[in-house]
Structure 1
Amino acid sequence: MTPSRETLPALLELQGVDSQLLTTLARAKELQSSERVAALMTRRTRAIAAARELDAGQRAAQDAVARAEAKVSEIQTRIDRDTERLNTGGTSKDLMGIQHQIDTLLAQRGRAEEEQLSAMDHAEEVAADRERKQPLLRAADAEARAAVAERDAELTRLREEHARLGAERSRLAAGIADAPLLERYDRLRTARGGGRIAVARWENGTCGACGTRLSPADAAALEATPDSAVPQCPECSAMLVL
């Protein structure tokens, strides 16, 4: 056996680690671009905006009630003042004028009280609508937060796993003395965009890298590869451990 052929099992172990590294990177990329998380965050943003609108609507309704109450109170104060003037007496003309003013204020108070009742009814409707919708909005916020926390926790785990695998790869690569074969392995692995299987087992006439089952003639030729050469799959060029 040549040193190159003896190195293939070590390369096979290195290939296993490299495949795991690719898997962790692919999963991390998938998590970072998760459509589910993006959709939940969009829903959360809309929920927050809706909650703010509900809060603003409630404040506006409460302000309207306060203004209506203040208006009724102001008119009542004027009525009380004019009633006191009326009770103190005066000329017939003055008293008629005061009474007319009181009658006018009473009519104004009636309209103001109607506006007050309308504002109070509206405020109650707004509060009830807010009360109905808030649980749904809080649920949207909570679901999005949970999804982000879950994603971030898995990303942390993947980063730790990637660091562990990176250290393992360095250890395995440092233990391979056949530098030319290691370079050949890396070229095959990173060719055509990367992610290829550069070394695999040859079992039952099938390439462990691409899954191709060779014809009896091709299989025989492969198995007859001289010890001075490294067996390669004729379909995917992966180095094979016979």
Structure 2
Amino acid sequence: MKHVIYIENKLFYIESDSSQIRDEERYCAIKDSINRRAALPKSRFDWGEVYTDAESLAEAVGIDLIMASYFTVAAFKTQGFRGFANGLALINSALLNQGVNDLKQHKLNKGLVGWIKKEIIGDVGKLQPSYDALRDLYRCERECQILDDVLGSQQEMHEGSFEEVALQLLQHIERLEMRYHRSEKVQERVVEELSKFSWNDTVLVVAASLISAAFTFVVMTYLPR
């Protein structure tokens, strides 16, 4: 049975019965590509191709949790936190719409989520996202919480699989929020100081805008991250 999810104005299908899509050409091609990856240097593996094939599969016939896992890693590798948030949304939808709900499936779920974490955890902390990525960071953090809640409902002894990832995301969020609020205070101080001079309103606005923009650039670019 297919379920529909909309992500960033795109329609994707989640197939709860994996047997319906396992023989699809793109499904097999993606699995073969991932299986051959161990024999290739990391720099030579084409995550972009995996992403394109998985996205096409999801838009045409649907993907299961396995394909959603490959999609998530490929999206993160090629699009950063925006792709990661989209992938996690697919993962959670796939988990919530599985046709089988037994111990074997729960173990497979845990294994796939563990594989995703292993593939992305090193890069999550190394990336230095800009303020423009803040919305996607919040999306990622929220989807991580949902993911841990879903897995926790399936396994009594579940330990937060994505807690470490969520912590790194929160560190990025805190850093960006602090820098942004610091720049806001600079702007307020500039306007306050300029208002002490007897300039006409037009000159005051222009001067405040120019100086404020310059200070904001310095704060956001050069102060410690």
Higher relative contact order (CA 8 A, sep 6+): 1
Flag the structure with larger Rg. Answer: 1
TM, length-normalised to structure 2: 0.30
TM, length-normalised to structure 1: 0.28
